[in-house]
Every structure is written in structure tokens, then in C-alpha cells.
């Protein structure tokens, strides 16, 4: 009899995904099968698969898919879902105490975002990204965001930048916690608010997608590195408020190079 979906040739992959109880970035269910979707695209070959270890997680029925998607994103950022390993929707559903369907739907969204890929009859493999791909993502982010930031530095009044200071300070607090999921969430919120001043919703969505991709797999950084990264947010706000274009260009380009 086949064993469960495996993260490697020898060891079954246990999905240790944290329960999503707010706050969403915490370091410490579903419908019946849609017969129109082939099993190979589902990631749920489960005959003889072992139950997921750990206590049963009870998820509120409202916004189930969204809660699970948030939980899986957190697990990616913290490294609990490991690059290269395969996880099945039923095993993850067991962990959440829900059917495989909402987990599968969340995983399919992650596949669209480039975080996982479908493995027919087995599940979803977490994408492995090399140094080159991460550097390419940083380059694309800079190509998109640096010109926008320079334009905003010329047109947005200083008091508007002051309104974003609490978000920048929140990234400092998250960095001090040394929790990668908390920092990733606060970092995205800060960059989203900055670009939101452009009034271009498409730009904000594209930039956030690139930002998420750049955070998977997680880059191991200590508390000091996270604090230095967060300090650049405050320095960037100062440069934007002062209309310091050279400072803006230098800070944004360097920030992306550091995967912030």
C-alpha cells in the first residue's frame, strides 16, 4: 500500500501549518469535490496516506479559503512548507480540520502566484528559487517602483508621507520580534501604502505580487538584519518628504537588493 505524500524519497511530508488566529503572522474548511476538475490537477492521491500529525486545528467557517490561504502564506514565509517538498490537500485539510477542497483552492491560488506547482496524483510542490531568480525579482521591482517613487517625491506633500510613519514604525516593531512572518506582512503593508499614493491599483497589485514572490523561499535573516531593513523604511520616508531624489533612488534600489 502506498504511503502518504512525501517531502523526500524516505520521509513522509508532514504539513505543520500554524492555525490562523489573529494576528495572521504568528510565529509560535470545505465543499465536496468538483467532478469537473481532474484528480491530477487536485493534488490529492491519498490512498493509505498517514494522518497529519499535531492537534486538530478548528477553523471558523466564514472565509475558510481566505483563512487557509493566509495560513499557507505564513507557512511559506516561515519555512514550515519547505522548498522542493510535496504536500497534499487532504493531509493539509486534516491539519486544519476541513475537507481538501478549500485547501486545494488555496494551493491553486498559490500556484498562480508562483509559490507552488501541481504534481499530478501527488499534491503541490513548493517552488525552489535560486539566487538568480531572486535577483531578477529584485531588479523587476526596482524597475517598476523606483520611477514611481521619484515621481511621488516630486508631487506628494510632506504631510502625506508623515501619515505613513506609523506603518514604517510597525515594521521596526516586527523586525524587533525577529518573526519572519510578522516582518514580511508589515513590510508588504508599508510598500503597499507607499505605492497606493500613486492612485494606480494595477501597479499596486503587480508590485505586491512581485513582493510576495521575493519572500518565497524565506531568506534567513537575523534580528539585526531585519532591524536594518526596517530602518530603511523610515529613512525612505524622510527622503521622500524632503524631495531628496538621489536619496530615494539609492534607498529604494538598495532596499530591493537586500530583499526588503
CATH number of the 131-257 domain: 1.20.120.530
Integer Cα distance of 194 and 200 in angstroms: 11
Look at residues 214, 123, 228 and name the one whose alpha carbon lies nearest to residue 178: 228
**Is pLDDT at 17 greater than 90 in this prediction?**
no
Which pLDDT does position 96 carry in this prediction?
82
The per-residue pLDDT for 178 is 86
pLDDT of amino acid 150: 96
Q: What is the pLDDT of residue 114?
A: 86
Rounded distance between C-alpha atoms, residue 153 and residue 241, angstroms: 7
Closest by CA to 190, choosing from 251, 139, 113, 107, is: 251
Least-confidence region, from 21-35, 71-85, 96-110, 126-140: 21-35
What is the average pLDDT across 175-196? 92
Asked whether residue 201 carries a pLDDT value surpassing 50, the answer given is yes
Q: Is the pLDDT of residue 34 over 50?
A: no
Q: How sure is the predictor about 26, in pLDDT bands with cuts at 50, 70 and 90?
A: low
Note the CATH architecture for domain 1-128. Orthogonal Bundle (1.10)
Grid coordinates of 216: 518565497
Cis peptide before 6 (omega within 30 of 0): no
- Only one residue has cell 465543499, namely 31
The residues near 26 (Cβ < 8 Å, ≥ 6 apart) are 18, 19, 20, 74, 181
Q: What residues does each domain of the chain span?
A: 1-128, 131-257
User: What is the average pLDDT across 136-152?
Assistant: 93
In the block, residue with C-alpha cell 508631487? 155
Statement: residue 124 has pLDDT above 90? yes
> Where does the pLDDT of residue 258 fall: very low under 50, low under 70, confident under 90, or very high at 90 and above?
low
Task: Residue count of the chain, please give it.
Answer: 260
Amino acid at each position: 500500500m502506498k504511503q502518504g505524500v512525501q517531502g523526500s524519497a524516505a520521509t513522509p511530508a508532514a504539513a505543520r501549518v500554524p492555525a490562523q488566529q489573529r494576528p495572521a503572522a504568528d510565529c509560535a474548511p470545505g465543499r465536496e469535490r468538483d467532478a469537473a476538475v481532474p484528480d491530477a490537477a487536485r493534488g490529492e492521491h491519498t490512498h493509505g496516506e498517514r494522518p497529519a500529525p499535531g492537534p486538530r486545528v478548528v477553523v471558523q467557517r466564514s472565509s475558510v479559503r481566505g483563512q487557509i490561504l493566509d495560513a499557507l502564506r505564513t507557512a511559506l514565509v516561515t519555512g514550515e512548507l519547505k522548498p522542493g517538498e510535496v504536500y497534499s490537500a487532504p493531509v493539509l485539510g486534516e491539519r486544519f480540520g476541513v475537507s481538501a477542497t478549500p485547501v486545494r483552492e488555496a494551493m491553486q491560488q498559490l500556484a498562480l502566484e508562483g509559490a507552488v506547482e501541481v504534481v499530478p496524483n501527488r499534491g503541490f510542490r513548493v517552488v525552489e528559487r535560486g539566487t538568480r531568480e531572486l535577483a531578477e525579482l529584485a531588479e523587476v521591482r526596482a524597475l517598476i517602483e523606483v520611477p514611481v517613487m521619484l515621481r511621488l517625491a516630486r508631487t506628494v506633500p510632506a504631510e502625506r508621507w508623515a501619515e505613513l510613519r506609523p506603518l514604517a514604525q510597525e515594521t521596526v516593531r516586527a523586525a524587533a520580534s525577529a518573526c519572519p512572518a510578522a516582518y514580511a506582512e508589515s513590510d508588504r503593508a508599508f510598500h503597499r501604502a507607499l505605492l497606493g499614493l500613486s492612485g494606480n491599483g494595477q501597479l499596486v497589485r503587480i508590485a505586491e505580487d512581485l513582493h510576495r514572490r521575493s519572500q518565497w523561499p524565506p531568506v534567513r535573516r537575523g534580528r539585526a538584519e531585519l532591524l536594518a531593513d526596517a530602518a530603511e523604511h523610515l529613512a525612505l520616508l524622510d527622503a521622500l518628504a524632503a524631495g531628496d531624489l538621489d536619496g530615494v533612488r539609492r534607498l529604494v534600489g538598495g532596499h530591493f537588493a537586500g530583499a526588503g
